[in-house]
Structure formats: structure tokens, C-alpha cells
Amino acid sequence: MVSHSAFATGKLIGPQGAVNATQQWTELTQQLNELGPGKSTEQWKKVWRDLKRNTRGRAAAINAAHRQTGNPNVEDKLSDLDKKVIAVIGRDSSTGIPDLSAIGLCTDLSSHGVITPSASTSNRSSSSSQVAATNLAAPKPLF
């Protein structure tokens, strides 16, 4: 998997991408079955998907602990296998891409006619009529 990162991450593209992926999974299945318990290609695919998912989860939890406490010395409890999987699939797949903000999402909802609840609203009947009137108005374009 280390030497075939496009295969390991499922990013074989092009007109022959699916054919190449199927061929590589067949070859990998044969090699793995020579070393241990015999499984079908679909079973080995599931093993790989589960391993990637679980590793991403552990890495994401560690990253969240780093961000939450602000302590860079939070213990890294990834096993050697987890570290190898992260090296193959990329750290960004579990921790996110730093300094990347969401594109196309508006953070100022009031400019688009959306009323958010406020603690200072004391008269429910007038606030509900304001919400109803706002919902009838045409939404403002985002761009």
C-alpha cells in the first residue's frame, strides 16, 4: 500500500482506473491469502476500509485533544500500524487541512433575512409575526 498510494486511497482515475483498481485488489488478495487467512477480495476491501476509518478516528481524537487543551504535549497514542496507515492516506484526511475555511457559506445570516433568536425578545407574539413576515420575503442572493 505504501508504494501504491493512489490505489490505497482509492484515487485511481482515468478511463482504466476501475479496471486497474480491480486488478490490483485481485493481486493484493492473492498475496495476503498466501500470508494468512484466506479471504475474498471484498472481505480484504472491508478490512482496509475499517482500518482506515478506525485510524482516522483515533488520529482525529488526538488532534481534537491537542486543539481543545492547547497543550502540544498531549500523548500521541497511535500504534505503529496507525502511523503507517496515516502516512499512506495522508494526515489531512483525519485532521483536516489547516487554515482552510468553508467556501460559499455565509456567516452573517442577518444580511440574508434570517432572524436568529435573541435573549432580549420578551414579546413572543410580536417576534413570531416578525419571523412569519420574514419567511414570506424573498431570500436575498448569497453572491
Whole-number percent of the chain with pLDDT over 70? 51
pTM (predicted TM-score)? 0.56
Q: What 8-state DSSP symbol labels residue 23?
A: H
Q: How far is CA 125 from CA 78, 111, 137, in A?
A: 55, 23, 19
Residue type, 103: I
| Separation CA 19–CA 13 (nearest Å) | 10
Domain map of the chain by residue range? 5-95, 101-143
Q: What is the pLDDT of residue 46?
A: 94
- pLDDT tens-digit series, residues 74-130: 677 888 999 988 888 887 666 665 555 555 555 555 655 656 555 444 455 544 445
Between 133 and 31, the more confident residue is: 31
Q: Tell me, what's the pLDDT at 122?
A: 47
The whole-angstrom separation of Cα 84 and Cα 93 is 14
